[in-house]
Amino acid sequence: MNIEELKSYLLAKPFTTLGFPFGDDVYVFKVKNKMFALIGRHNDLLMINL
């Protein structure tokens, strides 16, 4: 799964929004204003926090 597929999967969940409160390089996914996933890159590795 690449980053675009992962973003599409997460955004398909009901009430999900995407924001960038930590900068343009960290994707923050929220449901009803509560974070449930973060995606970013560190040392050229894709990192995800659920």
Which residue type occupies 30? Answer: K
What's the pLDDT tens digit per position in 14-37? 999 999 999 999 999 999 999 999
Whether the model pTM is above 0.85 = yes
Label residues 21-36 b or e (16+ Cβ within 10 Å = b): eeeeebbbbeeeeeee
Q: Is the distance from CB of 1 to CB of 39 less than 8 angstroms?
A: no
Integer Cα distance of 37 and 3 in angstroms: 13
Domain ranges of the chain: 3-49
Q: Is the distance from CB of 41 to CB of 47 less than 8 angstroms?
A: yes
Name the band, by pLDDT with cuts 50, 70 and 90, for residue 39.
Answer: very high
Which residue type occupies 41? Answer: R
What percent of the chain has pLDDT above 70? 100
Name the band, by pLDDT with cuts 50, 70 and 90, for residue 2.
Answer: confident
